[in-house]
A and B are shown apart, each in its own frame.
Chain A
Amino acid sequence: MPVNHTENEKNLVSGLPGTANMKKVAIVGLPNTGKSQIFNNLTGEYNIVANYPGTTIEMKRSVARINDKLYEVIDTPGLHCLYVHSEEEIAVRDLILAEAPEVIVQCIDVGQYKQSFLLTAELLELETPMVLVLNSMDNSTRKGIKIDSLKLEQTLGIPVVESMSMRGLGKDELKAAIVKARHSTLDVKYGFRIETAITELAAELPFQLEFKHKIASLLLLSDPFVEKFLEKRFGAERGALIRLEANKCRRQVRGNIHQVFMDRRSRWVEHVSAAAVKKENTASEGFSYHLTQASRDPILGIPIFLFLMAVVYLGVVYVSGALDTFINFLVVRPVTGAITALSLPLFWNDLLIGNHGILTLGLFNAICTVLPILSVFFFIFGCFEDSGYITNFTVFSRRLFEKIGIPGNAITSLVLGFGCKTMATLSTRSLTIRKEKFIAVFLIAFAIPCSAQLGISMAILARVGLSAFLIVFGVLALCEMGAGMILNAIIKRKEESFFIQAIPPMRFPSMRAVFQKTYHRIVDFLKEALPIFLLSAVGLFAFDKTGLLGLTKQALMPLVVGWMGLPKDIIDVFLLAFARREAAAGLILKMVDAGALTYVQSIVAVVVTTISFPCVANVVAIGREMGWKTALAMTALIFVSSFVLVGALNGALVLMMGK
């Protein structure tokens, strides 16, 4: 389990157990430059890899053996520069400042070498031994960019490794380089006045502080987060003193300090590039370039989007349908047959394969109904993530979303919500504006079905008819829009927002990587969900046998049957939904198959399980991002509004098409 670094500094310093004496290696770099892949190659662990900026939300730590010595390796979220903009970047900087890793490995996407070198310039100021990894060399040769790694090594005075991390190449060279990591010989010079100011300010900083030089220059740039960092560590009084000192030093420098810093850095980058980079005439722009452009074109983007949605729909419905039948044939029928043949006493028979049996509701529900759908969905979603489509979709759809109050910066998070709402909620950390963040978190929790649910809802609706599918997703979309617009109107904006987003080029997803990712997600799902499936089945069984279930059903009758127009057996579904939503959805699927739900009832049931309440993990994530009060308030609001909405939906549907 990753540790929360933004709030809890204790966790920050302690790291993994038993790693106290190990040297630390931090892998940093711009977003989407292959840090996680390098981490996976080094440690043999698996951290999700994808082709959009911001895949890694939390630090991940593991241990790697290099030359018979153990190193603690830390994978970090993307970082643009050390003058930070978002919480996720603060987390990376605070990690570096607080833990002072012995080696920093910077990943560089050769296609964007200049942007990367700007970050290198800043990282060198930390005066920590460094290694550069040149990634996606194969892609860049197509772009006509050649970096002479030997020249780069000579120019900077630090080891440079060429790597094709997707294929696991360059691993041994990297290990060797980590051992040889050293300080650079080519620092950026900011001119006499600024250097003097930095040195003077650094001398005033507390003795035990690391990276005094870099912290002093951040203070000169009036970085608010570094002031907070110092206050937290040395107390408010000392913090205020330091701030005074910084103000004094800042006054010695005339004009715009930011400008001077940036000018010097970019001159440094030009110098390094001139020494080590050869640019040849670019080859003609290939298919992927045009596909990338088309996918975000206001006109061509629409058919591409619809095509991809159709792929998801057909994949989930037909491929998982086939898998379902296959597993049913292979496992469920033989097992059920065998148990029936044993002719056990009624109680045991019911406990195993009765309506609320451990096998029926627990194991079979998980592996026959939910698992096939999930695997197909995970696979397709993995392809999306790897292809780089999601960010291009952001560009294509931004205006539309902004009209209904969803900020452009939040679209990626919202799309991720279709994968896992918890991760999506955590990814809103990259949003700097509180209002945007609040709206995004709420909308993710509200009417977006997560992968588990989405797949199952699709399968349910495919059985009832395509029109039902369109109605449900139309209703969900309307709910999101309405909520977005209302929140946008209610919440006052304090800061000005802006949208600047680097877009990864689209590529054909690597099947190996997608299969690997799908496999890991399925394993995680089974580990996390299977026990809950089984436990909730047992719980429901006990509830049923003791007669409590009947009583609960009786009590909830008016709400469920009267207001929402659902059969009273659906209460089983609601109870399961408290534990895990996909378990509940799996049960609806069975009820549909058994013919227990009408057309309208199926629609209402799917909508209510989608929006009624965020899962526990999601609520926890909201609590961490927005605070517990907000999390509880949001949950309550969603709960109440969902029942109101669903009742209204039922009324409208019955009015339009009868029972």
Chain B
Amino acid sequence: MAVIRNVEQDEHIEQLWYMKEQGETSLDFLKKAMKRDFDARIIEELFLRGLVERSAGVATIKLTADGEARARQLIRAHRLAERLIVDVLGGADVEEIACEFEHTVSLELVNGICTLLGHPKECPHGMPIPEGECCRQATKSALSFIIPLSDIKLGESARIAYINCKNDQQIHKLEGLCIRPGVVVKLHQNYPTYVIECEGASIALDQEVVSHISVWKNFKGAEGTDEPKAADHKNKAGGLKRFFKAFFKSPSIK
């Protein structure tokens, strides 16, 4: 019974977080948003636990600092779960599983998932995922199967997992060049400027833009990119070798 009470409390806290995102503080709004799930007794409990503060006169309600900390954990777990389901499991029915998930996982597990996914900043709906300790330390783990695009080897291909970017213009420009989640890109060059190949076009990107793009590690499946080419790309002379090889192979300049 107590567990269920906790879940109900969490639902109220989450709703208060959504209201905070929208800049709402009225109790009526909360009642409307929660519909039949709204329970005045739970608000009372939250108040006693010091998670919410309210003013009776104008009927406003909002989270205290403690309440916000709790809400941040919940939302973080929820939205990371959505990412996990959409990116990894390819599922579409996100909401229900994510709702179950957020109440049952531990903080460490959430941080683990966050690291695996390469610290995503937005859920699949485009809502912000609150930062965790692991994001602030930018933990990189051998376990991560989503890594920054800049970490793949030259000449390798990778499928884009997501793009963490707040600048609308930048997203639209990338999108216009078909650089988007799900697309396979090949890294051609990483100095002095990144050059990737995407849907038949070569595109130059700066460090800043590349740092926003996360890809699947060890992607296999793009045609003819599986062979271990990495060895001759490790040194810069690789480019030279390739160039002369091509030069002597090709019969004419066309």
The answer to whether B167 and A496 touch across the interface, beta carbons within 8 angstroms, is yes
**Does A408 lie within 8 Å of B193, measured CB to CB?**
yes
CB <8 Å contact, B206 and A143: no
Alpha-carbon distance A635/B174, docked complex (angstroms):
37
**Given A81-B176, A395-B192, A500-B177, CB of A293 within 8 Å of CB of B201:** no
Does chain A have a CB within 8 A of B230?
no
* Chain B residues with CB under 8 A of A391: 204
Query: B180 — which chain A residues lie within 8 A by C-beta?
Result: 262, 266
Given A112-B201, A114-B199; A256-B243 close (CB under 8 Å): no
**When the two chains form the complex, which single residue of A83, A112, A289, A299 contacts B172, counting CB atoms closer than 8 Å?**
A83
How distant is A76 from chain B, measured CB to nearest CB, in Å? 16
Also in contact, A500 and B205, with CB within 8 A (given A80-B176, A81-B172) = yes
Contact B177 A502 (CB under 8 A): yes
Q: Is A396 an interface residue (CB 8 A)?
A: yes
Our pick among A83, A281, A296 for the contact of B189 (Cβ within 8 Å) is A296
Q: Would B206 and A398 count as touching, CB distance under 8 A?
A: yes
**Range, interface on chain B:** 35 or more
- Return chain A residues, CB-CB under 8 Å to B167: 496, 498
Residues in B with CB closer than 8 Å to A298 are 191-192, 236
Chain B residues contacting A118 (CB-CB under 8 Å) are 175-176, 178
Q: Which residues from 225 to 246 on chain A have a C-beta closer than 8 Å to any C-beta of chain B?
A: none
Chain A positions 500-539 with a Cβ under 8 Å from a chain B Cβ = 500-503, 505, 508
- Shortest CB–CB separation between residue B106 and chain A, in angstroms? 28
Contact across chains for A115 and B176 when beta carbons are under 8 A apart: yes
Question: Does the CB pair A115–B195 fall under 8 Å?
Answer: no
Given contacts A85-B169, A115-B201, A396-B192, contact A255 B177 (CB under 8 A): no
Say yes or no: A287-B201 contact (C-beta < 8 A), given A119-B176, A256-B122, A499-B206. Answer: no
Measured CB to CB, the nearest residue on chain A to B189 is A296
User: In whole angstroms, what is the CA distance A258 to B168 when docked?
Assistant: 8
Q: Is B250 part of the binding interface, using a Cβ–Cβ cutoff of 8 Å?
A: yes
CB contact between A255 and one of B125, B172, B193, B223 (< 8 Å): that residue: B125
Counting CB contacts under 8 A, is B126 at the interface?
Answer: yes
Given contacts A85-B172, A508-B253, contact A290 B201 (CB under 8 A): no
CA distance A262 to B127 in the complex (A): 16
Name the distance in Å between A404's Cβ and chain B's nearest Cβ.
Answer: 14
Decide yes or no whether B7 CB sits under 8 A from chain A: no
CB contacts (< 8 Å) of B171 on chain A: these are 258, 262
Return chain A residues, CB-CB under 8 Å to B192. 298, 395-400
Contacts of B173 in A (CB 8 A): 80, 85, 500
Q: In the complex, what residue of chain A is closest to B168 when comparing beta carbons? A: A258
Q: Scan residues 286-305 of chain A and give those whose CB is less than 8 A from a CB of chain B.
A: 286-294, 296-300
Q: Is A145 an interface residue (CB 8 A)?
A: yes
- Cβ distance B167 to chain A, nearest Cβ, rounded Å: 7
* Cα–Cα distance between A39 and B72 once the two chains are bound (Å): 57
Residues of B within 8 Å of A281, CB to CB, are 223-224
Q: Is the interface of B mostly helix, strand, loop or mixed?
A: mixed
Task: State which of B200, B204, B209 has its C-beta within 8 Å of the C-beta of A111.
Answer: B200
**CB pair A293 B239 closer than 8 Å:** yes
Q: Does B1 contact A (CB under 8 A)?
A: no
- Partner of B243 from the list A113, A294, A499, A503 (CB cut-off 8 Å) is A294
The reply to whether the CB of A282 lies closer than 8 angstroms to some CB of chain B is yes
**Are A500 and B247 interface neighbours, CB within 8 A?**
no
Q: How far is the CA of A550 from the CA of B250 in the complex (A)?
A: 66
Nearest-Cβ distance from residue B20 to partner chain A, whole angstroms: 16
Q: What A residues does B246 contact at CB under 8 A? A: 285-287, 289-290
B208 interface hit (Cβ, 8 Å)? yes
What is the chain B residue whose CB lies nearest that of A251? B22
Interface residues as binary, B111-154 with A (CB distance below 8 Å gives 1, 0 otherwise): 00000000000100111000000000000000000000000000
Across-interface contacts of A289 in B (CB, < 8 A): 246
Residue from B167, B177, B189, B205 whose CB has the most chain A CB atoms within 10 Å: B177
Q: Which residue of A lies closest to B169 (CB)?
A: A85
Least CB distance, B168 to chain A, in whole angstroms: 6
Report B-chain residues with C-beta under 8 Å of the C-beta of A255: 125-127
Bound form: Cα–Cα A281–B174 in Å: 26
Interface contact A145-B200, CB-CB below 8 Å: yes
Measured between alpha carbons, how far is A281 from B236 in the docked complex, in Å? 29
Enumerate chain B residues within 8 angstroms of A508, measured Cβ to Cβ.
253-254
The closest CB in chain A to the CB of B199 belongs to A114
* Given A298-B192, A400-B192; A498-B208 close (CB under 8 Å): yes
Q: Which of A280-327 contact B (CB under 8 A)?
A: 281-282, 285-294, 296-300
B65 at the interface (CB under 8 A from A): no
B71-94 contact mask (Cβ, 8 Å, vs A): 1 or 0: 000000000000000000000000
* Smallest beta-carbon distance B197→chain A, Å: 10
Query: Do A286 and B193 touch (CB < 8 A)?
Result: no
Interface membership of B229, Cβ < 8 A? no
B240 within 8 A of A: yes
Determine the chain A residues whose CB is within 8 A of the CB of B195 once the complex forms.
296, 395, 503
- What's the Cα separation between A489 and B112 when bound, in Å? 43
B64 interface residue (CB < 8 Å to A): no
Mark interface residues in A152-179 (1 if CB within 8 Å of B CB, else 0).
Answer: 0000000000000000000000000000
* B188 CB–A CB distance under 8 Å: yes
Return the chain A residue nearest B205 by Cβ. Answer: A500
Is the CB–CB distance between B170 and A500 below 8 Å? Answer: yes
The residue in chain A whose Cβ has the minimal distance to the Cβ of B172 is A83
**Also in contact, A498 and B243, with CB within 8 A (given A115-B199, A256-B122, A258-B126):** no
Residues in A neighbouring B240, C-beta threshold 8 A: 299-300
B254 touching A501 by the CB < 8 A rule?
A: no
B6 within 8 A of A: no
Further contacts, 14 of them, CB under 8 A, given A115-B177, A266-B175: A81-B176, A221-B168, A256-B125, A266-B178, A286-B246, A287-B250, A298-B191, A300-B243, A496-B167, A496-B208, A499-B206, A500-B177, A500-B206, A500-B209
**Which residues of B are at the interface with A, using a C-beta cutoff of 8 A?**
122, 125-127, 167-178, 180, 188-189, 191-193, 195, 199-206, 208-209, 223-224, 236, 239-240, 242-243, 246-247, 250, 253-254
23 contacts between A and B (CB under 8 A): A80-B177, A81-B175, A83-B172, A85-B169, A85-B172, A85-B173, A115-B176, A118-B178, A119-B176, A222-B168, A255-B125, A256-B122, A258-B171, A285-B246, A288-B254, A290-B243, A291-B243, A293-B239, A293-B243, A294-B239, A398-B204, A501-B203, A503-B195
